[in-house]
Amino acid sequence: MTSPLLSVHDLRVSFFTEAGPARAVDGVSFTVHAGETVALVGESGCGKTLTALSLLRLMPTGARLAPTSRVEFDGADILTMPERALRSLRGDRIAMIFQEPMTALNPVLTVGDQVAEVVRVHTALSGRDAWTRAVDMLALVGIPDAAARAQQYPHELSGGMRQRVMIAMALILEPALVIADEPTTALDVTIQAQILELLRAMRERSGMALLLITHDLGVVAEMASRVLVMYAGEVVEESPVELLFSAPGHPYTEGLLAAVPTLDTSRERLRTIPGTVPPPTDWPAGCRFRERCAHAWDRCASDAPPLVQLGPAHRVRCHLVQEPERRRT
């Protein structure tokens, strides 16, 4: 196998708060290869978005990276890269689609200007040529009458249109890697399907890699080839997508899959995982999921489980891997 395009090793991001240090991302490691779609899933508060922001050093004020953390893109360590080189990388070879376009887009610039700015910053094209390319890209992502829409401001567009503008900004220079943070949140199912199809078509067209952050397992099944499940700042399972749905190894993954609504009318209530994600200032000792896990026993309270190889390309952070007889039926 060729070397990964993106290699994340021991990513640790913390904050100092009144309640003590918050270890929001705590030892995350994974890779993404060229042309691959990897999904990062988990509940809100698990650290997905902060992981994504850290890959481009876009963490919130006050966030601190551990000195052992490494994020290598095409062989270069982003976390030690000079700021000028990093600015050149962002938007050109790595692009990000943010979660909420209404806050990510500049309200006082037209959407055409914002898409064209990406071209002007990273190429030698003139302003007129950059504008023409921006209009062409807006049309490519499915915005009707793109020349007129390019003259409009974000508040004049629908949520689906604004999301398409964000995608146009991310894809206009055909980056090698796109990080998409909940790209279909708050969109109706028809627009969601169109956005996902657009991302799939652009990936096939340019060969880009896609890191997809989502809590929607339906999107994961449709888009991803490999899945990382995060809980309480850690990766608790990594698996090929087919195996994750057919034979999940971690109780948290099982709970997420069981909570997905089905067409089974015999079920009166949706299944849920009891409890909530603990705060990053107070991760439990031992297994961080144990207080919500139906299979927990004494060892789970004292020993933090390592990420164990369960099979080819399948890793699970759970003591049940070593003691499967403890699994309750």
Please report the pLDDT score of residue 106 as a whole number: 94
Distances (CA, A) of 52 to 23, 39, 86, 98, 252: 15, 11, 15, 10, 21
The predicted pLDDT at position 268 comes to 66
**Above 60 in pLDDT, residue 226?**
yes
Q: Residue 129 has what pLDDT?
A: 96
| pLDDT higher than threshold 90 for residue 238 | yes
265, pLDDT greater than 60:
no
Residues 278-300, mean pLDDT to the nearest whole number: 94
Q: Three-state DSSP class for 325?
A: helix
Which amino acid type is present at position 14?
Answer: S
As a three-state string, the secondary structure of 278-290 is CCCCCCCCCCCCH
Nearest to 130 by CA among 141, 121, 140, 139: 121
For residues 72 and 88, what is the distance between their CA atoms, to the nearest angstrom?
A: 16
The confidence score (pLDDT) of residue 264 equals: 63
Chain segment 24-83, per-residue pLDDT in tens: 999 999 999 999 999 999 998 899 999 999 999 999 989 999 999 999 999 999 999 999
Q: Is 143 a residue whose pLDDT tops 70?
A: yes
- The CATH class that applies to domain 6-93+175-326 reads alpha beta
Looking up tokens 């439990």 gives 284
CATH 3.40.50.300 domain range(s) in the chain: 6-93+175-326
User: Poorest-confidence range of 104-108, 122-126, 265-269?
Assistant: 265-269
Q: Is 225 exposed, middle or buried (0-12, 13-18, 19+ CB in 10 A)?
A: middle
Whole-Å CA distances, 68 to 13, 45, 56, 79, 307: 11, 23, 17, 10, 18
Structure-token pair, residue 278: 């603990």
Strand order in the sheet with 94-97: 94-97, 177-181, 209-214, 37-41, 226-231, 234-240, 314-316, 308-311
Mean pLDDT across the chain = 91
**What is the per-residue pLDDT for 139?**
93
| pTM beyond cutoff 0.85 | yes
pLDDT mean over 291-298: 94
Residue 122 CA: distances (Å) to CA of 28, 90, 91, 130: 31, 9, 8, 10
Neighbours of 155 (CB within 10 A): 9
The predicted structure's pLDDT at residue 48: 94
Tokens of 210: 């896609």
Higher pLDDT pick, 132 / 203: 132
Residue 18 has φ and ψ, to the nearest 5°, of -65, -30
The backbone torsions φ and ψ at residue 274, rounded to the nearest 5 degrees and listed phi first, read -60, 150
**Percentage of the chain modeled with pLDDT above 70:** 98
pLDDT at site 244: 96
pLDDT of residue 154 exceeding 90, the answer is: yes
66-75, 199-208, 237-246: least confidently modelled range: 199-208
Specify whether the CB–CB gap between 152 and 138 falls below 8 A: no
CA–CA distances in Å: residue 87 to residues 69, 81, 94, 173, 284: 20, 10, 10, 14, 38
Candidate from 114-128, 160-174, 223-237 with smallest mean pLDDT: 160-174
CB atoms inside a 10 Å sphere around CB 34: 15
For 98-255, where are the E strands, in sequence order?
A: 177-181, 209-214, 226-231, 234-240
Q: How many CB atoms lie within 10 A of CB 303?
A: 12
> Can you give the pLDDT at residue 105?
92
pLDDT on residue 1: 58
Q: What are phi and psi of 235, to 5 degrees?
A: -80, 120
Length of the chain: 329
